[in-house]
Amino acid sequence: MTIYLDYAATTPQDPAVTKYISDICQDTFGNPSSIHQQGRKSRALVEESRDRIARELGCLSKEIIFTSGGTEANNSIFMSLLGTKKNNRKKILIPATEHASVLEPVRRLTAFGYEIHNIPLNEHGNINREKLPGLIDDKTCLVSVMMVNNETGIVYPVAEISNLCRNRDVLFHTDAVQAFGRIDFSFDSLLADFITISAHKIYGPKGVGALVVRQGVPFFPVFYGGGQETNRRPGTENISGIAGFAKAVDLLSGHRDYQHVLKIRDYFETSLLNTFDQVKIIGKDTDRIPFISNAAFPGNKGDTILYQLDMAGINVSVGSACSSGSLSPSHVIQAMRLPQDIVESAVRFSFGRYSKIAEIDYLIQVLKRIIK
C-alpha cells in the first residue's frame, strides 16, 4: 500500500492532462517561432493556452511569461532588479519564511549593494501587520510575500500588503505557487506587480510555470539568445507543457477541491489531537488553507518519523521538496521562533484531490506505533 500525503511538494498529473499532452506531442510538434504550417499551429496552441490561463488568473494574456516553473519565475524577478533600478532604491523586504527560490536570489543581490530586511512575524506565524508599514521607506524597491506558505499552509495578507505597497510606490511580488487553484484570487484586483505560479501544483505537468508581470511594470530579462515571450524569456517554448498547464487550469473549474480537502484535514487534525497528548498543529490559530497541515511531535525527530512512515508506505515531508532532499529542520518553522523540540519534530502532511478518510485512519494507526 502506498499513501501519498505530500501534495504540497507536487500533485499527481491528472489523467486527462496526460492524455491531452500525449495528443499534443503527436500532432503539434512544430517550433512556434517557425512561419510554416506546423510552426503556426504550435504558435496558435501556445497563445490559446496563454489566454486560458490568463482568464483563470484575471490578468491580460500579454502579462504572462512562461517559465520552467516557480523557481525560475521567482529568480527572474529578483535578478531583473539588476537592470531595472528604481531611483537607486536598493532595499528589499521579505519574511524569513519565504521559499528558497526567493531567499537565495535575494541573498545573491547583496553582492550588488542591495539591503535585505526581514518582515517580522506575529505570535501565530503570520505577517506582523503593525510593524510592516514602518519598514517601507523611500529606499524600498520591492516587497515579496508569498500568498500561502508551502510548509505551514498559513495564508498571508497579500491583498492588504499589495495595497500598502501601491500607496507607497513600491513594487510587490507574491509567490502564489501554493495558492493557485486552491484559493480564489484575481491578479487584476490584487494589484500585485508580479505573481508566480507552477503547473505541477495543480495536477499539471512538471517543468512549466509562469511569471505574471503587470503591464507597464519594468522587467529586465535574465536570459538572452531569442525573442520568445516578447523578448522576456528566450528559448523554444515547451509546447506540450504549456498546453498541459492550460488543460490543468481548465480542469480546476470542475475540481474545486477545497471542501473535500477541508473534511480530510479536519478529520486528520482531530484524530491527531485525540490520539497524541503532546502534538502541536503549527499555525492552527491563524488563517490557513486546508491542503497543508504541519504537525510537531515533541520528543521525536521529524526525519525519523518520515523514514518510518515511508517504510509503511506513507509519503510525507519534513520541509520543502525543493531543498535537495535535505532532512534538516525546516527554516520556516525555525523562523517562527518556536521551541526547538517543536522545530525538530515537525512533519508536513499535505492533502489533495485523491486523499481519502481511510488513508488518514491508516496513517494514525502507523503513527501510534512510531510516536514515543
pLDDT of residue 83: 85
Q: Under DSSP, is residue 58 helix (H, G, I), strand (E, B) or coil?
A: coil
Distance of CA 263 to the CA centre of its chain: 22
Strand duo 292-296 + 346-350: pairing: antiparallel
Could you tell me which of 269, 271, 208, 289 has the C-alpha nearest to residue 242? Answer: 208
Q: Under DSSP, is residue 239 helix (H, G, I), strand (E, B) or coil?
A: helix
**pLDDT at residue 38 tops 70:** yes
- pLDDT of 286-299, one tens digit each? 999 999 999 999 99
Query: Whole-number mean pLDDT of the chain?
Result: 94
pTM: 0.94
List all residues 6 or more positions away from 74 whose beta carbon is below 8 Å from its beta carbon.
99, 101, 102, 105, 173, 175, 196
Domain boundaries, the chain: 3-11+256-370
- pLDDT of 138-173, one tens digit each? 999 999 999 999 999 999 999 999 999 999 999 999
- pLDDT of 340-371, one tens digit each? 999 999 999 999 999 999 999 999 999 999 99
* Whether 98 contacts 331, CB under 8 Å: no
Q: Which amino acid is at 260?
A: H
In the chain, what percentage of residues exceed pLDDT 90?
92
Residues acting as catalytic residues: 322
pLDDT of residue 330: 86
Q: In the structure, what pLDDT confidence band is assigned to residue 225 with cuts at 50, 70 and 90? A: very high
CATH class of 3-11+256-370: alpha beta
Sign of CA dihedral 310, 313, 317, 320: positive
In the chain, what percentage of residues exceed pLDDT 70?
96
Could you tell me which of 324, 326, 308 has the C-alpha nearest to residue 368? Answer: 308
Cell numbers describing residue 298: 515533541
